[in-house]
């Protein structure tokens, strides 16, 4: 497998000139990982890269993973595995679904992913060690990639974003779900850079989740706590919780695209970008350089546009 299966040089660093920020000397850059690929976009290639290399180097027959009916991760895994030539199984939440239930599942199936539909109860066991052992016994020599690609290898891939940043960054902002992307950014960031995370889940204990992942990654409780001192959590920008959005958020997406040619999605990146702009109003950010990591997710916008009968990306 070619390590450069997807070309990350497409992920440019876009300078965004927000007049009221520029006036205060705040420099804002967006790392456009959404441009890496239409299906394996944003943090998806970052999280899948070392998982796929593991499939190859460990001589696995293929891989299996988990996702909901509209999962970005499921689609990205199907697309990347297709390009790498690996057989892939997707376990999907919802026994009532079929390959034709929606565009995401249809495309996964077209790309060759074998879809297995699970009851919500069975899907709830997706992180249970014994349950995974049972799947591995049935699908011998298949490599397990957890939901959202949120494992150790996913974090290592996300650390690599820093290799592509060639200017000094004081603050970095990112949307948070499983925490793999934010933990990767934290592990790779320069010491003086502050990481700001914006969880999209309501009531999410970001600190505890990140601590648990880092502790396991680093084998050291103290180092995990020390690293987390460099993190600020902004929990008030979830817009009602995962998958929820408001008219205000949709209109924010339209305005952002119109002003900066920057497409955002209502599930992750718009919430984070909105939250970041609110936070940047504070004078402590004067004369600082800010990085927003665009983690992708734009493919869901088509369905949201149809559902709400509007266009998100017009000038």
Ligand X SMILES: Cc1ncc(COP(=O)(O)O)c(C=O)c1O
Contacting residues toward ligand X, per CB under 6 A? 42-43, 72-73, 148, 150, 175-182, 268-269, 295-297
**Cα distance between residue 249 and residue 266, in whole Å:** 7
Is residue 310 within 8 Å of residue 250, measured between CB atoms? yes
**Cα distance between residue 298 and residue 20, in whole Å:** 27
Q: Give the residue nearest to ligand X (CB).
A: 297
Closest approach of Cβ 138 to ligand X, in Å? 27
Residues ≥6 apart with Cβ < 8 Å to 247: none
Is residue 186 within 8 Å of residue 231, measured between CB atoms? yes
Closest approach of Cβ 313 to ligand X, in Å? 16
Is residue 257 within 8 Å of residue 270, measured between CB atoms? no
C-alpha distances (whole Å) from 284 to each of 175, 206, 240, 311 are 21, 23, 28, 36
82 vs 295, beta carbon nearer ligand X: 295
**Cα distance between residue 76 and residue 98, in whole Å:** 19
Residues ≥6 apart with Cβ < 8 Å to 142: 60, 61, 62, 63, 64, 89, 135, 136
265 vs 279, beta carbon nearer ligand X: 265
Closest approach of Cβ 44 to ligand X, in Å? 7
Residues ≥6 apart with Cβ < 8 Å to 25: 286, 287, 288
11 vs 72, beta carbon nearer ligand X: 72
Closest approach of Cβ 20 to ligand X, in Å? 26
63 vs 180, beta carbon nearer ligand X: 180
234 vs 288, beta carbon nearer ligand X: 234
42 vs 263, beta carbon nearer ligand X: 42
């Amino acid at each position: 497998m070619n390590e450069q299966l997807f070309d990350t040089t497409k992920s440019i660093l876009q300078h965004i000139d927000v007049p009221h920020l520029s006036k205060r000397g705040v420099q804002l850059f967006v790392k456009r990982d959404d441009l890496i690929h239409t299906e394996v976009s944003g943090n998806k290639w970052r999280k899948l890269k070392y998982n796929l290399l593991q499939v190859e180097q460990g001589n696995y027959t293929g891989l299996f993973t988990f996702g909901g009916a509209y999962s970005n991760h499921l689609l990205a895994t199907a697309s990347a595995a297709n390009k790498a030539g690996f057989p892939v199984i997707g376990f999907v939440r919802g026994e009532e679904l079929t390959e034709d239930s929606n565009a995401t599942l249809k495309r996964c199936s077209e790309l060759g992913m074998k879809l297995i539909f699970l009851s919500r109860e069975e899907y709830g066991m997706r992180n249970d060690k014994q349950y995974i052992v049972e799947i591995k016994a049935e699908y011998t020599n298949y490599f397990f990639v957890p939901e959202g690609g949120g494992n150790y290898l996913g974090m290592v891939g996300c650390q690599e974003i820093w290799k592509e940043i060639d200017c000094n960054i004081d603050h970095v902002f990112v949307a948070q779900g499983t925490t793999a992307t934010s933990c990767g950014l934290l592990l790779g960031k320069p010491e003086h850079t502050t990481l700001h995370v914006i969880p999209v889940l309501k009531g999410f204990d970001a600190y505890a989740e990140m601590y648990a992942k880092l502790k396991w990654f680093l084998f050291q409780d103290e180092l995990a706590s020390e690293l987390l001192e460099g993190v600020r959590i902004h929990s008030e920008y979830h817009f009602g919780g995962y998958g929820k959005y408001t008219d205000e958020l949709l209109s924010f997406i339209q305005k952002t695209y119109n002003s900066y040619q920057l497409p955002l999605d209502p599930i992750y990146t718009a919430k984070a970008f909105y939250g970041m702009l609110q936070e940047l109003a504070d004078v402590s950010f004067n004369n600082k350089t800010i990085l927003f990591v665009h983690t992708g997710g734009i493919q869901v916008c088509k369905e949201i546009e149809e559902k709400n009968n509007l266009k998100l990306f017009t000038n």
